[in-house]
Structure 1
Amino acid sequence: MIENFPKEILEKFYEGIYFVDNNRKILYWNKGAEDISGYKAEEVINKHCFDNILMHVDNTGNQLCKNGCPLHKTLQDHQYRETKVYLHHKNGHRVPVYIRTFPMFDNNNQIIGALEIFSDASFQKEILKKLKKLIMIDKLTGIPNRRYFEAQFDSKLLNYKKTNIKFAIAILDIDQFKKVNDIYGHDVGDKILKIISNTLISNIEPTEVVARFGGEEFMLLLNENNLDKLIFKIDKIRTLIENSGFKVKKDEKEFEVKVTVTIGATIIEKNDDFDSVYSKIDKFLYEGKNSGRNISIVK
Structure 2
Amino acid sequence: MDLFLSDYAEIFENLFEGLYVVDRNRVIRRWNRAAEQLTGFTAEEMIGRRCEDNLLNHVDGHGRQLCISNCPLVEAMNEGQALENEVFLHHKDGHRMPVRVRINPLRDRCGEVVGATELFVDMSEMSGIMQQVEDLKRQTLTDRLTGLPNRACLEGELQRSLDEYKRYGWPVGLFFMDIDHFKAVNDTYGHERGDDILRLVATTLAHNCRASDIVGRWGGEEFVGLVRNATTASLLQVAERSRMLVEQSFIMVDGRPLNVTLSVGAALVREGESAAGLVRRADHLMFESKHKGRNCVSADV
- Structure 2 length as normaliser, TM-score? 0.53
Q: Give distance in 1, aligned partners of 2:156 and 2:137.
A: 13
Q: Quick one: which of 167, 174, 180 aligns to 1:169?
A: 174
* CA RMSD across the alignment: 1.7
Give the Å deviation of 1:132: 6.0
Q: Give distance in 1, aligned partners of 2:268 and 2:135.
A: 33
In structure 2, runs of 5+ residues without a counterpart are 1-133
1:192 aligned onto 2:193: no
CA distance 1:191–1:211, change in 2 (3 Å): same
Q: Which residue of 1 aligns with 2:184?
A: 179
Runs of 4+ in 1 over 4 A off after TM superposition: 129-132
Q: Which residue of 2 aligns with 1:214?
A: 219
- 8 Å Cα contact 2:170/2:228 also seen in 1: no
- 8 Å Cα contact 1:169/1:222 also seen in 2: yes
CA distance 1:169–1:131, change in 2 (3 Å): closer
Q: Give distance in 2, aligned partners of 1:290 and 1:132.
A: 37
For each residue in 1:258-297, what CA deviation from the matched residue of structure 2 results, as whole angstroms up to 9, or x when unmatched?
1000100111112111111111111101111011000101
Q: Give distance in 2, aligned partners of 1:277 and 1:294.
A: 21
1:289 aligned onto 2:290: yes
Task: Tell which structure's C-alpha radius of gyration is larger.
Answer: 1
For each residue in 1:159-207, what CA deviation from the matched residue of structure 2 results, as whole angstroms up to 9, or x when unmatched?
1111001011110000000001111111111111111111111111112
- 8 Å Cα contact 1:224/1:230 also seen in 2: no
Q: Which residue of 2 aligns with 1:31?
A: none
- 8 Å Cα contact 1:264/1:288 also seen in 2: yes
Q: Which residue of 2 aligns with 1:274?
A: 275
What SS is found at the alignment partner of 2:149? coil
Q: Give distance in 2, aligned partners of 1:282 and 1:169.
A: 10
Instruction: Considering Cα pairs closer than 8 Å and 6+ residues apart, tell me whether 1 or 2 has the greater RCO.
Output: 2
CA distance 1:196–1:132, change in 2 (3 Å): closer
What SS is found at the alignment partner of 2:171? coil
What SS is found at the alignment partner of 2:184? helix
CA distance 1:289–1:142, change in 2 (3 Å): same
Q: Matched residue pairs, number? A: 167
- Structure 1 length as normaliser, TM-score? 0.54
